[in-house]
Structures are given as C-alpha cells and as structure tokens.
Amino acid sequence: MHEWSVSDGIVRAALAAVAKNSLKKVEEVVVYVGELAQLDISILEEAVKVFSENTVLERARFRFEVVKAEFECKKCGATWTLKDVAKIIEEETKTSKILDEEGGEYDIPLHYMPEIVYAFSRCPKCGSRDFEVKSGLGVKVEVRGE
C-alpha cells in the first residue's frame, strides 16, 4: 500500500504551499489523483488525516478528485480512455480477468508503474502504439485558505 507514502507527500506539499503563500488558515485541500495512479482514495483519506494531525491542515477539508486518464494517438489524433485500454487488453489476452469483480477497477499493474500503460495500449482506431497520455497521471495538490 503505497497510498500512505503518497499521503505523506500530499501533506508535505500542502504544508509547503501554506508556507509559500503565508496562509494562516486552510479551509480546503483539493487533491487531484490521476486515474493511472490506481490509488485507493479511501486509504488516502485516512492517511492524510493521520499525517495532518497537529498541523495547520488538521481542521482543513481534504477533497479528492479523480482525473480520468485520456490518451491521444500521435498518428491519427484519436483519443481513448483507460476503459478502452482494458478492452484492448481483454481482446489481446482473451481474458476478462483484468476487471476486478468487486469494484470494477482495472487489475493491470499500473498501480505501481503507470508508465507501463504504453506496453498495454494502442490506438483503438489505427492500432498505432505512438501515443501520449493527455491526462490522468500523477497527483496534484491545491490549497485553499487565507
């Protein structure tokens, strides 16, 4: 569960933003989580509460928003989503085991190495593997306060 280390980084980034902007009170911390990170939001929520104890963030509201992954083909310009990647993998491997029956999440090893999406995906329109990730990578922290 690397959600705990990610949560530590989220709190550290938020505290750095508080210091940089000389905030006295933090009302909200918005955390944008890329879908490719495959992070468990409930664990992140629990962990940031622990890491923000006894800090200026302790009473702040943490709001998590998942940023959907979107890909764009450099050859034909087509765009697709992580759900489309799952379909491509199912077609190529002839298995449906990449979908988690409980939560519907993708059971491909993107959780630890999101960059390997390039090995699993191709353009659904032209078949090219020359594409870029337009959104859905990483974690971004935005602090709101006074």
Alpha carbons within 13 A on the beta-carbon side of 111: 12
Using an 8 Å Cβ cutoff, are 95 and 87 in contact?
no
Confidence of residue 95 (pLDDT cuts 50, 70, 90): low
Report the DSSP pairing between strands 139-145 and 26-34. antiparallel
Position 98 pLDDT exceeds 70: no
Confidence of residue 31 (pLDDT cuts 50, 70, 90): very high
Interval 83-87 mean pLDDT: 79
Confidence of residue 103 (pLDDT cuts 50, 70, 90): low
pLDDT value for 99 = 47
β-sheet bridge partners, residue 129? none
Closest CA relative to residue 69, chosen from 118, 99, 35: 35
Q: Which of residues 38 and 69 earns the better pLDDT score?
A: 69
Question: Rg for the chain (alpha carbons), in Å?
Answer: 18
Return the amino acid letter for 90: E
What's the distance, CA 10 to chain centroid?
12
Interval 49-67 mean pLDDT: 97
pLDDT value for 83 = 83
Tokens of residue 104, six digits: 């519907």
β-sheet bridge partners, residue 32? 65, 140
Position 82 pLDDT exceeds 80: yes
Interval 56-75 mean pLDDT: 96
pLDDT value for 146 = 92
Q: How far apart are CA 73 and CA 20, in angstroms?
A: 38
Name the average pLDDT for the chain: 85
